[in-house]
Amino acid sequence: MADKYRAVIAGCGSMSHGHALGYQSMENVEVVAIADPVAEARANFGERYRVKRQYEDFRQMLDEERPDIVSIVTWHRLHAPMTIAACARRPKAVLCEKPMSVSLGDCDEMIVAARRNEVKLAIAHQRRFNPAWNEARKLIKEGAIGRPRQVVARGGQGLLNDCSHLLDMMRYVQGDVEADWVMGNVERKTDRYERDIRIEDRSAGIIHFNNGALGLILQELDGPNYQGGIFYGSEGTLELDEQKVRLLNSTTGKWEERVVQGEDPSVAQARELVEWIEGKTEHRGRAENGRAAVEIIMAIYESARMHEVVSLPLKTRTSPIDLMVESGALPVERPGRYDIRAFLLRGEAMKPGEV
């Protein structure tokens, strides 16, 4: 083992702090360099975490630093090209932010790049390390609600953003069940984007999992709750958020609240990445799990596009919401592009890609 694993972070915005916290909490990892085209972002991050080596260009950083660990903390659209570029330099591991990417085809290319270069690729669905989510997973495995029948979650900001966490939750808490069919619909009357990705105004999806349970995801319908969901089983009900689990079951006949505390998820995520590198365990955020959340989202869009129940594995590799809009099947009725994350942009640009 190296004395210290050399980690680099690409993208020094809001979520980069979680990655820095994770690595800096570990004695055998050092953040040696950062990359960001925005000088102010580099300067702020570098000062706060005492990282002197700073690059405007991500690929130059990879070539000069030859890191063991690469964190990709940029907007969704950059996840695939940057992960593929990182894998080509053969680090030991890449930790890429969620959502894994913006289409199933991109997810597959990321997985191919990781396999060909023998890189361990994890997606930062760090809520998999949340103590409350793990308590819920344990309870369901022990049969606390009997046979899971339904799970309901409410999100916002488009399916790819927070809903990717919620769909990941549905799978993880039930023991990483697989989806076998999906039916969904979307409404998109305004030209709505999130971090430069075309998103819908509202959407809903029904997911059938291979344990027999149905998932229901509501996006911008009925008020968002980004942190958890409600699991209904044959013998009880379990409500979950990031802090606590509430359980009602046929044995006790009353609600029991469990506030669960534990390690910060970003720290636990980084530790498991190093353990994975060292062959001690598999990372619970491995790429196949990140891909599964994107596949369900794309299947909801595909169901809306094709007006049918979509069986998984999904065959369509490009984003069906883009196909619908670009073919005229989903016309914008109230024109004017806007990005609900425009507040993250620095400088004069109010639209991503503007000069």
Give the type of residue at 340. I
| The residue to which tokens 């023991």 are assigned | 175
Nearer to ligand NAD, 8 or 274 (CB): 8
Least distance (Å) between residue 37 CB and ligand NAD: 5
Spatial distance between the Cα atoms of 180 and 197, rounded to a whole number of angstroms: 26
Is 181 in contact with 302 (CB distance < 8 Å)? Answer: no
Q: Strand pairing of 29-35 and 53-55?
A: parallel
Nearer to ligand NAD, 79 or 92 (CB): 79
> What does the binding site for ligand NAD look like in residue numbers (CB under 6 A)?
10-15, 35-38, 41, 58, 73-76, 78, 97-98, 124, 126, 161, 344
Under DSSP, the state recorded for 1 is -
Q: Round to whole Å and give the CA distance between 276 and 270.
A: 10
- Nearest-approach distance from CB 195 to ligand NAD, in angstroms: 6
Least CB distance to ligand NAD at residue 335 (A) = 26
Q: How far is the CB of 48 from ligand NAD (least distance, A)?
A: 13
Q: Residues 181, 310: contact at Cβ < 8 Å? A: yes
Nearest distance from C-beta of residue 168 to ligand NAD, angstroms: 10
Integer Cα distance of 353 and 355 in angstroms: 6
SS (H, E, C) 136-199: HHHHHHHCCCCCEEEEEEEECCCCCCHHHHHHHHHHHHCCCCCEEEEEEEEECCEEEEECCEEC
Instruction: Give the shortest CB-223-to-ligand NAD separation in angstroms.
Output: 20
DSSP for 210-224, please give it: TTS-EEEEEESSS--
* Identity of the residue, 58 or 209, whose beta carbon is nearer to ligand NAD in the bound complex: 58
The answer to whether the beta carbons of residues 79 and 87 sit under 8 Å apart is no
Q: Which is nearer to ligand NAD, 130 or 303 (CB)?
A: 130
Which residue, 20 or 111, has its beta carbon nearer to ligand NAD?
A: 20
Minimum distance of ligand NAD from residue 355's CB (angstroms) = 15
Residues 6+ apart with CB under 8 A from 140: 148, 173, 174, 175, 231, 233, 238
Q: How far is CA 123 from CA 73, 78, 128, 135, in A?
A: 11, 14, 11, 21
> What is the smallest separation between the CB atom of 302 and ligand NAD, expressed in angstroms?
22
CB nearer to ligand NAD: pick between 169 and 330: 169
**Is 194 within 8 Å of 203 (Cβ atoms)?**
no
Specify the residue, 12 or 32, whose C-beta has the smaller distance to ligand NAD.
Answer: 12
Residue nearest ligand NAD, Cβ-based: 13
328 burial type by CB count under 10 A (0-12 exposed, 13-18 middle, 19+ buried): exposed
Q: Which residues contact 51 (CB under 8 A, 6 or more apart)?
A: 31, 32, 33, 34, 45
Nearer of residues 38 and 216 to ligand NAD, judged by Cβ:
38
User: Which of 55/276 has CB closer to ligand NAD?
Assistant: 55
Q: How far is the CB of 68 from ligand NAD (least distance, A)?
A: 19
